[in-house]
Structure 1
Amino acid sequence: MEVEITTEEKILIAARKVFIEKGWDGARMQEIADNAGINKALLHYYFRNKEQLFKRVFAGIVGKLIPNLNTIIQSEQPIFEKIQAFIDAYLDFLLANQELPLFVANELSRNANLIVGAFEENGLKPMVGQMVMEIFQAIENKQIRPINPAHLLMNIVSMCVFPFMGRSIFQKVLMQVPEEMYQELLKQRKKEIYEMVYHSIVL
């Protein structure tokens, strides 16, 4: 049986499509309304302005990632298992939302406050502080070599994100591989990143 979606859900689906394709600056409320199959007045009834709609769309996407990462961070797993679970969850999210990293990077370069506001207003805060404390504890327990936790976290995030941000360069210039092969490389990143991280911090 076909499930009927609400008007609000139609708006959010249409808005995501337009924002991803056109960016914040290029997106127009009229185009979003047209894509949702409603009139502009009804769109403004649900979302009074473009900023409110953008933040709701962004929160809907990232809201699928942050709680998952926080569950991993709060778990009782040993540090190396936790790092691997973090990488796996992050890459699973990116594989399911491959257009997002470049979109976020573009929007951050234009209006960082918009993205930051979307995180803050929707309570989307990764528990980085707890992860940092666990890394310091692992150093003290001589499980990993002395390392600045900020660099470790930036290394993990960068290695996960950049193949999606720079896919045009990697796929069409540096490696010249077909789409199917590039997707396979992206899936292999879980193992490759974890092994690089492991060997860079293990004593």
Structure 2
Amino acid sequence: MIKDKLENTEIEILNAAKEIFQQKGMDGARMQEIADKAKINKALLHYYYRSKQLLFEAVFSNAFALLAPQLNKILNDDSDLFEKIIKFTDSYITFVIKHPYLPNFVMQELNKNPEFVQKLRVKENFPNTNKFKLQVADAIKDGLIQPIEAEQLFINIMSLNVFPFIGEPLLTALLDTDKKNYDIIIQKRKTDVSAFIINAIKI
């Protein structure tokens, strides 16, 4: 009973923190506000997480732990390169639509604490791009795609998938659109991004 209560309290804390961090960012969030959202006192919050930084890392790690295995599985399955690009893009965008705070979490944390990514790298199922790189090399050798460094191709894929979420406020203004229509645009990118990349590299 006690163990279940402790676990439930921690879940409530992480859910509350995720919502506050999403609304206000790491710098704008306050521990008291997170405690109030979780319906606990601040002392109990500090019992679970001694600092806002540790709480932020826990929220981020939980979200990343859901996404990383999906991406790693796609990168290392037996599908061909084009199918892999399609599945990777669809999986990433689908996930981030459900967890829109994640890209900004990444940017905030990497800017403030670049060492944090090293903690993620040692975890099981951290995405491994070695097979992807070999597939790119083979596709070039077989005359299926234009010569391109695998690293550059992967950066292009990530950039086209990540930036629309990070740059949403700017892009909605530049495109003179509202949140509802922008969400429709994002949904279409599940197929449009992969089609754009494949058309750009295939022979």
| TM bracket, shorter-chain basis | 0.7 to 0.9
Distance of 2:118 and 2:54 partners within structure 1: 10
Q: Aligned in 2, Cα 1:73/1:175: closer, same or farther, shift over 3 Å?
A: same
Match of 2:46 in 1: 44
Which amino acid in the other structure matches residue 152 of structure 1? Answer: L
- 1:24 is aligned to 26
Partner of residue 129, structure 2: 128
2-side partners of 1:70 and 1:135: how far apart?
A: 16
Percent of paired sites with the same residue: 38
* Match status 1:177 vs 2:164: no
The count of corresponding residues between Structure 1 and Structure 2 is 198
Letter in 2 for 1:194: S
Amino acid at match of 1:137: D
> Which has the larger displacement, 24-33 or 59-68?
24-33
Structure-2 change in CA distance of 1:26 and 1:184 (3 Å): closer
SS at the partner of 1:64? helix
Q: Is the 8 A contact 1:55 1:118 kept in 2?
A: no
SS at match of 1:94: helix
Structure 2: tracts of 5 or more residues without a match? none
1:53 pairs with 52, 55, 64, which one? 55
Aligned match of 1:148: 149
CA offsets per residue over residues 125-170 of structure 1, 9 Å max, x none?
A: 2112222122112222322221111110111111111112222222
Quote how far apart the aligned CAs of 1:121 are.
6.1
Aligned positions of 1:86-105 closer than 5 A: 86-105=88-107
Q: Structure 1: how far apart are the matches of 2:27 and 2:91?
A: 31
Structure 2 CA distance for aligned equivalents of residues 40 and 108 of structure 1:
27
1:190 — aligned with what? 190
Q: Please report how far the alpha carbon of residue 9 of structure 1 lies from its aligned counterpart in structure 2 after TM superposition.
A: 0.5
Once the 2 structures are TM-superposed, how far is the Cα of residue 21 of structure 1 from its aligned partner? 2.8
The amino acid across from 2:20 in the alignment is: V
Q: 1:45-89: CA deviations, max 9, x gaps?
A: 323333332221101111111100111122111111111101110
Whichever residue aligns with residue 110 of structure 2, its letter is L
CA contact 2:35–2:45 (8 Å) conserved in 1: yes
Structure 1 residue 185, shift from structure 2 partner: 0.9
Q: 2 CA distance for matches of 1:54 and 1:135?
A: 36
Gaps of 5+ in 1: none
- CA RMSD, Structure 1 to Structure 2 (Å): 2.2
CA gap of 1:124–1:39, structure 2 versus 1, over 3 A, is: farther
1:164 paired residue number: 165
